[in-house]
Structure 1
Amino acid sequence: MADENDSKFYLEHEEILDDSDDDFKYEEVPVDEELVEPDFDEDLDIAVRTIQEAEQDIKASLQKDGKEKAPVTARPEVIDDFVRNFLVKMGMGRTLDCFQTEWYELQQKGQLKEEDVGVVPDIYTRNQQLDTQVKYLRQDVDKFRDAAMKAKDTYVKLRKERDYHRMHHKRVVQEKNKLITDIKRLKKHYAAYEPTLKQLKVKYEAAMKEKMLTKLERDRAVGQVSGLQNTLKTMGDSANYTSGALNASTTRMCQKGRYELLDEEGRGPTQRSIYESRQKAMLESQKDVTQQPMPRHPDDTEFPPDTGVNPYLSQVKAPPGHLTRTGGFRLTHTFQAHSQPVSNLALHPRKQILATTSDDHTWKMWSIPSGEIIMTGEGHTDWVADCAFHPTGSRLATVSGDSTAKIWDFSKAECVHTFEDHTHAVWGCSWHSCGDFLATCSLDNTSKVWDLNSLRCRYTLRGHADSVNSIEFLPFSNTLCTCSADKTLSLWDARTGLCAQTFYGHMHSVNHVTFNLRGDTVASCDSYGIIKLWDVRTVAPMTSLDVGPHPANRVAFDPSGSIVAVASNDGSVKMYEVASGQVTSLVGHEDAAQSTIFDRNGEFLVSGGSDCTVRIWS
């Protein structure tokens, strides 16, 4: 017993746990003497009250901490239970039976003291808990050891992959540097060939130009020989020869640098005296110009020689038979182009691309016949009246009610220049076949010829007494044709800015004028629906057609010149067959038809109207 008491005294004064490595402060559990008394005489009410007070204390502590915790009550273990648990744990069943028999006998006899039946000292309970904890910690250590081994294997694997990728990266960098060096060497090598290629290109272009000029000169010489032979055959005597030469004259490029378009009697549409006085004034003005030449801009472009040969004439074919009959065209495609009326149309010279202008201040490019939009141009501050593709198809010219003409470059997708010399709205524009000159007409009663190289106005065409509504270059020529609200049409020489001839016959404002592809016929339309065809050689009307009373807004020749399309304000497109005089109507627009145009092959017709749509007829 002495040894047991000594061990108890030692356990009670043990302080090692407070200074352990885990820094866990253990609280001493007080021994409730009432709990270890052998007899319990508490009644039910006291027990219930005690339990309720304990629950309230637990709830109060949880509310104070701000979070709910599961209530755990630790009760100290008595000695006999501790011994029983130990024997059960060790599997000593017979010893347990003997212990219980002897323990109960001593307890009945009252030989057990109060300290013998008390709770087990804390050190034993703590030792048991530590033993259990050590057991679990050993399991955790084994688990963590396995995880550490797996992590080590993974680390080794990742390090090997890193080394592999690092080596691969170095090899790629070396290859990249080698390729960069090769590219630089190739660039240097190609740069050495660049001057040679440029020289070869210049020589090739010069050779092609000389070849074309030679071909044109040959064709012109052949034409002149044929004309002289025909003239000699019809010549009877010198008087007849003089009269025949005068009647057959379509005199081009006279020595004074302009067209002299005469009628059968050698006079213009006015009296001979008026023509002679006009010619005299023209000669005097030219003398003044030769005596005092106008200053030239260093970037001014020379007008190409006027050979009068159109290379596209050899490609013109007669339209198919079904297109010359009534109702030959049918509506095949319709698409909404703008939010406001479509004012004009233009077809790309080489591709199936359509340009449209509108009162909504924009122009757009479309793929036809699908109607898929390609590009939208915004920059004008008022309605856009007309547009025209550059002969190469790389640029677009637009004119607007804001008194400007703009040049748009498709490669840069922007406006590259704006011409602002007009003082009022600009109605129409047309490119010279060489692509270096642009002609525009305006509400300010004038037309202008712009040089795209010097970016300045070369000539201002003055002569109309009212708004100039339309302007067009004769294909592959320096001749311009304009129509005006003063009821006249005029032919101009773009090289001098002088009026060569005036057509009289319309009784109302002329809205539009156009050449056929051959250049020998002009079609015009006015605000009362009157269509006139003019012979350029005789300066006389060939035929007149009334498709009114609605205004005719625009006319267009098909490539063969046998069909004339008229965009009418009644919403239809009139088809006039020149040979038969038959007129049919293509009905489809819900509002006025503002513009119409044939494609270069004459296979389909495009029209645009105030109903904001574009319609394709084929």
Structure 2
Amino acid sequence: MAAKEGMPANALRVLEKALGMDLTAAGDTAEAVAAEGAYYLEQVTITEASEDDYEYEEIPDDNFSIPEGEEDLAKAIQMVQEQATDTQILEQKTVLPSKQPIPEVIEDFLCNFLIKMGMTRTLDCFQSEWYELIQKGVTELRDIGNVPDVYTQNMLLENENKNLKKDLKHYKQAADKAREDLLKTQKERDFHRMHHKRIVQEKNKLINDLKGLKLHYASYEPTIRVLIEKHHALLKQKMLTSLERDRAVGQISGLQAILKHMEVRHNYQASEIRVVPNSEKENAPEGPTQKGLREAREKNKDKTKIKKNTKDSEFPTNMQPNPNLYLCKENIGPAKFDYKLDNIFRLHELPVSCIILHPRKDILVTCGEDRLWKLVGLPKGNVLLTGFGHTDWLSNCCFHPSGNKLATSSGDTTVKLWDLSKGNCILTFEGHHHAVWSCTWHSCGDFVASSSLDTTSKIWDVNSERCRCTLYGHTDSVNSIEFFPCSNTLLTGSADKSLSIWDARTGNCEQSLYGHMHSINDATFTPRGHMIASCDACGVTKLWDFRKLLPIVSIDIGPSPGNEVNFDSSGRVLAQASGSGVIHLLDLKSGQIHKLMGHESEAHTVVFSHDGEYLFSGGSDGTVQTWS
């Protein structure tokens, strides 16, 4: 009996040391097997060596008996039912603890072990004796707690260890990367600090230089002021001198006329008083007065002969504008802005470079890069005359004040004059070294001025057919040239970003206007001549006061270049042909800008009709568009 009581504890220790199995799992398996039925003990041989060399002996089961027959079976079933009923009653009466009971897995582990080893009889004997002790209350179960699942915990710990190692690896990589980024950032910081220090030093140096320059400039300001005053005084003196010169020339001309009249009168009186035979007249001695008169007559004859032999034209003096022309322009109606596309004329195969209107007739002339100019009748747009003769593209054209002649400039470095009644070239001026950009007629009709890519402008005498003067001063291409209405003053616009005003009689530059930041493409006067408009290669249009020679306003319509500017007859509306194909109309009174969109590509030229009702524009597509 002592061997039986000590068997479960010894068996537990032996099995735990020998097999190291999970007690919880073994208990579950033992309960499952025990529920199937009763078992008998059989003698088995344990091959595995035990740590404590415990010898098992067979214990006879004297208390276990199997009921035989149907009556015994019915009694057993009834007994089980009664036990189940008693158990339910006890469960109803028993107050469950707040915590769940701890499962008992020791006997389950032993049962599982015996089942695994095939020791069925030992299992039956163990179960009978174990449960009998439990029913008698001899064995008291103590709370041993949950038996840990060692393998499961080991696996969980291994997985956790792996995950922690992976995290550690990632953290190490992140730490290395962060360390590299930190070093890189520190290097960049040091570089930027050095750069900042250098910039601060340069800034301080520049500030000191600026202070020095300001002081230097301040020391020059009085000198500059004095020089400006001297310059203005010299300009006034120059103008007064030119006026005195013109007055003196007039007085000389008057004195010469009086002298001539007195000579004629004196000769007439002498012939009436005394008629001297030829022989006596030849032999008669001359007095000092007669000798002086004879020499004066000979000089006048020589001057007259020289003047007759010389074909050079004289620049007109004291020119006055035609009052009727400006009177009719002042009576023109209000400015018009609501132009709409009326018609499109396809006149050239290549871009149209210039459009001008006849001074009195409904006729316009177009020049193109196809080396042709065309005389077009309005409003139908029929071609009346076509001019052939230039060997390269045409850049500009201009009507003679009478309207019966035409001047054209070309990339072939020449300026040609055309007789519109015959349609042929009557004169060609050669002298420029590069392409000629623009040409203009003098109001008297005896002179033509041209500007060229060779940085010069020339004044041509139509009567003597030669270059009377070359204007030097610009440092880049001279893109536009125009005579001031009814005067001997010329206006040029250049790629050197400046406008220059010239005296055509002397070829001297009287004044230069600066303000554009880019190449000037075109410049023109208002019909009254009191204002100048200019446009440059970045679309900036400037207005200048011609009387004060000061800028008035600057309008940026860029970034597309402004190719040409023109005023309407009233002088209130300024049109600009833009490189974007848009025609901009600027209201000089309100400052508003209106846009006319019709050209698909670049717009090169724009011009108003004399009454302001129509506007004509030419583009790089070879078309002339009419707006009304």
TM-score bracket for the superposition, by shorter chain length = 0.5 to 0.7
Which whole-Å deviations, capped at 9, do the CAs of 1:175-225 have from their partners, x for residues lacking one? xxxxxxxxxxxxxxxxxxxxxxxxxxxxxxxxxxxxxxxxxxxxxxxxxxx
1:314 alignment partner AA:
L
Q: Equivalent residue for 1:302? A: 314
Gaps of 5+ in 2: 1-223, 249-305
1:371 aligns with 2:381: yes
The 1-side partners of 2:227 and 2:555 are apart by 24
1:313 aligns with 2:323: no
Is this contact kept in 1: 2:386–2:423, CA < 8 A?
no
Q: Equivalent residue for 1:464? A: 474
Pick closer, same or farther for the CA change 1:560–1:279 going to 2, 3 Å: closer
Q: Equivalent residue for 1:332? A: 342
The 1-side partners of 2:318 and 2:481 are apart by 19
Pick closer, same or farther for the CA change 1:268–1:438 going to 2, 3 Å: farther
Q: Equivalent residue for 2:357? A: 347
Is this contact kept in 2: 1:310–1:518, CA < 8 A?
no
The 2-side partners of 1:356 and 1:413 are apart by 14
The 2-side partners of 1:319 and 1:285 are apart by 37
Is this contact kept in 2: 1:268–1:501, CA < 8 A?
no
Which whole-Å deviations, capped at 9, do the CAs of 1:338-390 have from their partners, x for residues lacking one? 00000111111111111111111111111122110111111111110000111
1:367 alignment partner AA:
G
1:478 aligns with 2:491: no
The 1-side partners of 2:583 and 2:226 are apart by 32
Report deviation, 1:310.
4.0
Q: Equivalent residue for 1:60? A: none
Q: How does 1:398-413 map to 2 (within 5 A)?
A: 398-413=408-423
Report deviation, 1:410.
1.7
Is this contact kept in 2: 1:306–1:478, CA < 8 A?
no
1:422 alignment partner AA:
H
Which range moved further: 531-540 or 300-309? 300-309
Q: How does 1:171-182 map to 2 (within 5 A)?
A: none
The 2-side partners of 1:570 and 1:304 are apart by 42
1:417 aligns with 2:417: no
Indicate the structure (1 or 2) with the bigger Cα radius of gyration: 2
Q: The residue matched to 1:597 in structure 2 has which SS?
A: strand
The CA RMSD measured in Å over matched residues stands at 3.0
Report deviation, 1:494.
1.0
Is this contact kept in 2: 1:353–1:365, CA < 8 A?
yes
Q: How does 1:131-146 map to 2 (within 5 A)?
A: none
Is this contact kept in 2: 1:464–1:486, CA < 8 A?
yes
Q: Equivalent residue for 1:521? A: 531
Q: 2:507 aligns with which of 489, 497, 502?
A: 497
Q: How does 1:9-158 map to 2 (within 5 A)?
A: none
2:620 alignment partner AA:
S
The 2-side partners of 1:269 and 1:488 are apart by 25
Q: 2:585 aligns with which of 575, 578, 592?
A: 575
Identity %: 51
Q: Equivalent residue for 1:443? A: 453
2:327 alignment partner AA:
S
1:553 aligns with 2:563: yes
The 1-side partners of 2:355 and 2:470 are apart by 26
Report deviation, 1:276.
7.1
Q: The residue matched to 2:326 in structure 1 has which SS?
A: helix
Pick closer, same or farther for the CA change 1:601–1:435 going to 2, 3 Å: same
Report deviation, 1:412.
2.7
1:350 alignment partner AA:
R
Q: How does 1:259-274 map to 2 (within 5 A)?
A: 271-272=228-229
Report deviation, 1:273.
5.8
Q: Equivalent residue for 2:623? A: 613
1:390 aligns with 2:403: no
Report deviation, 1:280.
9.8
Pick closer, same or farther for the CA change 1:314–1:320 going to 2, 3 Å: closer
Q: How does 1:133-282 map to 2 (within 5 A)?
A: 271-272=228-229
Pick closer, same or farther for the CA change 1:269–1:537 going to 2, 3 Å: farther
Q: Equivalent residue for 2:74? A: none
Which whole-Å deviations, capped at 9, do the CAs of 1:45-92 have from their partners, x for residues lacking one? xxxxxxxxxxxxxxxxxxxxxxxxxxxxxxxxxxxxxxxxxxxxxxxx
Q: The residue matched to 1:387 in structure 2 has which SS?
A: strand
Q: The residue matched to 2:327 in structure 1 has which SS?
A: helix
Which whole-Å deviations, capped at 9, do the CAs of 1:141-174 have from their partners, x for residues lacking one? xxxxxxxxxxxxxxxxxxxxxxxxxxxxxxxxxx
Q: Equivalent residue for 1:487? A: 497
The 2-side partners of 1:270 and 1:337 are apart by 55
Q: The residue matched to 1:531 in structure 2 has which SS?
A: strand
Q: What is the TM-score with the length of structure 2 in the denominator?
A: 0.52
1:313 alignment partner AA:
Y
Is this contact kept in 2: 1:446–1:462, CA < 8 A?
yes
Which range moved further: 272-281 or 597-606? 272-281
Is this contact kept in 2: 1:352–1:367, CA < 8 A?
yes
Q: The residue matched to 1:555 in structure 2 has which SS?
A: strand
Q: Equivalent residue for 1:428? A: 438
Is this contact kept in 2: 1:573–1:587, CA < 8 A?
yes
Gaps of 5+ in 1: 1-266
Report deviation, 1:303.
1.2
Pick closer, same or farther for the CA change 1:268–1:582 going to 2, 3 Å: farther
Report deviation, 1:304.
1.4
Is this contact kept in 1: 2:461–2:467, CA < 8 A?
yes
Report deviation, 1:309.
2.9
Report deviation, 1:277.
8.2
Pick closer, same or farther for the CA change 1:335–1:306 going to 2, 3 Å: same
